[in-house]
Amino acid sequence: MSKEHTFAWGTSRRFNDYSSFIKNKFGGRVQKISVNVGLSCPNRDGIKGMGGCIYCDNTAFTPAYCNAADSIAEQLRKGREFFSRKYPDMRYIAYFQSYTNTYAPVETLEPLYREAVGNGIVGLIIGTRPDCINSELLDMLARINQIVPVSIELGIESTNNQTLERINRHHTFEDTEKSARLCAQYGLETGGHLILGLPGETEADFLEHARRVSALPLKTLKLHQLQIIEGTPLAAICQKNPDFVRPFSLNNYIATVVTFLEHLSPDIVVERFVSVSPAEKVIAPRWNRMKNFEVVALIDKELERRDTWQGKLF
């Protein structure tokens, strides 16, 4: 196939890429600023469980400017300062990222979201769990959505309920299905987050993930490889039982992602393929400290080598 071929999503890229989508949506370059409001999760505080997800260490992906002790306005100010050195004309989206950002009463959450909206952002992204969504919350978010675009990012992680139990997630894929459809009913753009390589999962599971998430009303999807991070329950488990997970080699991960893409709906925008945590925290896989853009370049190359594209086998 010619490199100049235009795919169903309107570009010559062999997957439905986020950078093109977000530029079209906002008419130019935008940058997310992470916001931490110090909320918890129901699998941390004892409501559903304790200890959180076995792989989770929020400090591995939380930017230095993102401090729950600061107001939202101050976090946004610091985020702008951080990015504006390189991109002075950038516009910004507030990304409520750490932990479960709908895990509080609506009367607590609404002022937080509106504080962000009142500080010059052009969009709002709220990361949460599928079991922390309800109609009262979505009704409030639908009102804010009339001011700036609001997106809900659901931590799906796996479509296999046995896996979700194994990783101490304490929600089900049925929760994901219900929440994604409820968000769509309220007219809210919805994204998903999925981890490849969770304990016990196989290539067949990954393809089932692609099939199941393709059936959801998702606009965006983030993928990343399972990482064993120092100090997490997963690291302790793997120290005692090294066969509990088998981290991807880089080549195997690239091949797996390309096969996953072939089975993924072409309508879903792929926002991310890989997670890059601080090197000093990562036990495995290390991949010689590859950067995000380097892994994406390898995925592009493998798609071209196999002359395949997102949704080819959908």
CA 82, chain centre distance (Å): 22
CB 6 within 8 A of CB 266: no
Say if residue 14 is exposed, middle or buried (CB neighbours under 10 Å; 0-12, 13-18, 19+).
buried
Let me know if residue 9 belongs to a domain: no
Say which CATH number the domain at 205 has: 3.20.20.70
CB 228 within 8 A of CB 198: no
Let me know if residue 8 belongs to a domain: no
Containing structural domain, residue 180 = 18-305
Let me know if residue 104 belongs to a domain: yes
Let me know if residue 166 belongs to a domain: yes
Question: Measured between alpha carbons, how far is residue 87 from residues 8, 59, 170, 298 in Å?
Answer: 31, 25, 41, 27
Length of the chain: 314
Q: How far apart are the C-alpha atoms of 250 and 254, rounded to whole Å?
A: 6
pLDDT of the chain along its 314 residues, tens only? 655 789 999 999 999 999 999 999 999 989 999 999 999 999 999 999 999 999 998 766 667 777 888 999 999 999 998 888 887 789 999 999 988 999 999 999 999 999 999 999 999 999 999 999 999 999 999 999 999 999 999 999 999 999 999 999 999 999 999 999 999 999 999 999 999 999 999 999 999 999 999 999 999 999 999 999 999 999 999 999 999 999 999 999 999 999 999 999 999 999 999 998 888 999 999 997 888 999 999 999 999 999 999 999 99
Question: How many Cα atoms occupy the beta-carbon half-sphere of 65 within 13 Å?
Answer: 17
For the chain, where are the alpha helices, taking DSSP H only? Answer: 18-26, 72-84, 106-117, 135-144, 161-166, 173-185, 203-214, 233-240, 250-262, 292-305
Domain count, the chain: 1
Let me know if residue 57 belongs to a domain: yes
